[in-house]
Amino acid sequence: MAFDGATDQSLSRRAMQAELLDAETELKLAYAWRDDRDEEALHRLITAYMRLAISMASKFRRYGAPMNDLIQEAGLGLMKAADKFDPDRGVRFSTYAVWWIKASIQDYVMRNWSMVRTGSTSSQKSLFFNLRRVQARLEREAAASGEALDRQLMRERIAQEVGVPLHDVEMMEGRLSGSDFSLNATQSTDEEGREWIETLEDENAHASENVEQAKDIDTLRTWLVEALSALNERERFIVQERKLRDQPRTLESLGNELGLSKERVRQLEAAAFGKMRKNLEAQSKEVFEFLV
């Protein structure tokens, strides 16, 4: 059954006109699809039970999703059920398909309820679809018995009834209490009012900080060039290879390249830094600490 471009009314009419399968025919179609991947058998199986999918989709209209979208999600759940159904288990396909159809619709509703993820765990999902119903029943029972339930006690009762942690109830109440708002909405009815997005703190560095940091880096670079220029060629090479590379070289590798012992390279490195210290300390003591 094709969904694209069809309205919920046309889908419903076509579903109601589909054949009704007896248990024997249903079993033959299920075997044909599982064993032979017979697409015609799959099509008959899906078409016959679209009325079940549409009926289940209609129960979720109160969540504000378009009925046509709900039907399509129900149809996807039905197709998943057909693909995973094992006729050897002796269960009717409709019984098995109910779970897949419901799960597909519920996932769609929760994904589209809010831009903020409403819930991901099984307890949060159970709360999303049962919180209001359980709360209404508890309120009726409390009114009938003359019991006064404050908000905290109500939350505790709901958590116990649904079998979820109390903090999940508190979280879901907040998410279900309001809808999403645009950050570009104004804070007042005045057209000149400030938008909510303007109240968010900018985590990026301010322009003045960027300018100051860039200036410091340029200054540091100038001092380092001056200090390095005071060294002879070999000392400058050792300092560059030991301190200014992303992956500093070892004393042993430099010794092999320069024809010197490891200890001699260490001595030359220490002497080079001694010269640099004198040059840099005249500018800033923090620069030398940065190098070492």
Could you read off the pLDDT of 129-164 as tens digits, one per residue? 777 778 888 888 888 888 887 888 888 888 888 888
If asked whether residues 139 and 108 sit together in one domain, one would say: no
For 259, left (φ over 0), alpha (ψ -120 to 50), or beta?
A: left
- 277 & 233 share domain: yes
Which residue's entry shows tokens 């057209």? 191
d(CA 12, CA 50): 8
Q: Is residue 187 part of a domain?
A: no
Instruction: Give a yes or no: residue 155 inside a domain.
Output: yes
Q: Is the pLDDT of residue 251 over 80?
A: yes
Output b/e per residue, 224-262; b: 16+ Cβ within 10 A: beebbeebeeebbbbbebbbeeeeeeebeebbeeeebee
Same domain? For 98 and 13 the reply is yes
Residues 46 and 135 in one domain: no
Question: 109 with 75, same domain?
Answer: yes
Residues 6 or more apart whose CB falls under 8 angstroms from that of 200 comprise 183
Q: Indicate which CATH number applies to the domain containing 72.
A: 1.20.120.1810
> Are residues 227 and 144 both part of a single domain?
no
% residues pLDDT > 90 (the chain): 21
- In the prediction, which pLDDT does 6 show? 53
Read off the pLDDT of each residue in 79-106 and give the average, rounded to a whole number.
91
Query: Which position has the token pair 């359980």?
Result: 134
Q: How many domains does the chain have?
A: 3
For residues 155 and 160, give the distance between their C-alpha atoms in angstroms, rounded to a whole number. 9
Domain's final residue, options 155, 177, 199: 177
Pair (154, 213) in one structural domain: no
Residue 118 has what pLDDT? 47
Q: Judge whether 201 lies within some domain.
A: no
Domain identity same for 168 and 150? yes
CATH number of the domain that 217 lies in? 1.10.10.10
Tell me: pLDDT of 100 over 90: yes
Query: For residue 93, is it within any domain?
Result: yes
Return the pLDDT at 33.
Answer: 93
Q: Is residue 1 part of a domain?
A: no
Would the pLDDT of 4 be above 70? no
Cβ proximity of 241 and 254 under 8 Å: yes
In-domain check, residue 249: yes
246 with 168, same domain? Answer: no
More confident residue, 170 or 201: 170
Q: Is residue 82 part of a domain?
A: yes
For the question of whether the overall pTM of this predicted structure is more than 0.85, the answer is no
* Token pair of 283 as six digits: 């500018």
Query: Is 35 inside any structural domain?
Result: yes
pLDDT of 263 over the 80 cut: yes
Confidence of residue 230 (pLDDT cuts 50, 70, 90): confident
The 10s digit of each residue's pLDDT in 9-31 is 666 677 777 788 899 999 999 99
Token pair, residue 10, equals 């046309």
Strand partners, 195: 186
The pLDDT-based confidence of 93 (bands split at 50, 70, 90) is: very high
127 vs 273: CA distance, rounded Å: 67
Which domain covers residue 19, as residue numbers?
8-113
The per-residue pLDDT for range 155-200, each reduced to its tens digit, is: 888 888 888 888 777 777 766 665 544 445 555 555 555 665 555 5
Q: What pLDDT does 207 receive?
A: 58
Same domain, 244 and 169: no
pLDDT score for 131: 75
To the nearest whole percent, how much of the chain has pLDDT over 70? 73
Q: What is the pLDDT of residue 117?
A: 47
pLDDT of residue 224: 75
Q: Is there a single domain that holds both residue 89 and residue 57?
A: yes
Within this chain, do residues 94 and 163 fall inside the same structural domain, yes or no?
A: no
Mean pLDDT of the chain: 78
Q: Which among 60, 49, 52 has a CA at the least distance from the CA of 107?
A: 60
pLDDT of residue 5: 46
Q: Is the Cβ–Cβ distance between 54 and 74 less than 8 Å?
A: yes
Helices within the chain (DSSP H only): 8-16, 23-36, 39-48, 50-58, 67-84, 93-113, 122-145, 151-162, 166-176, 207-229, 233-243, 251-258, 262-281, 285-291
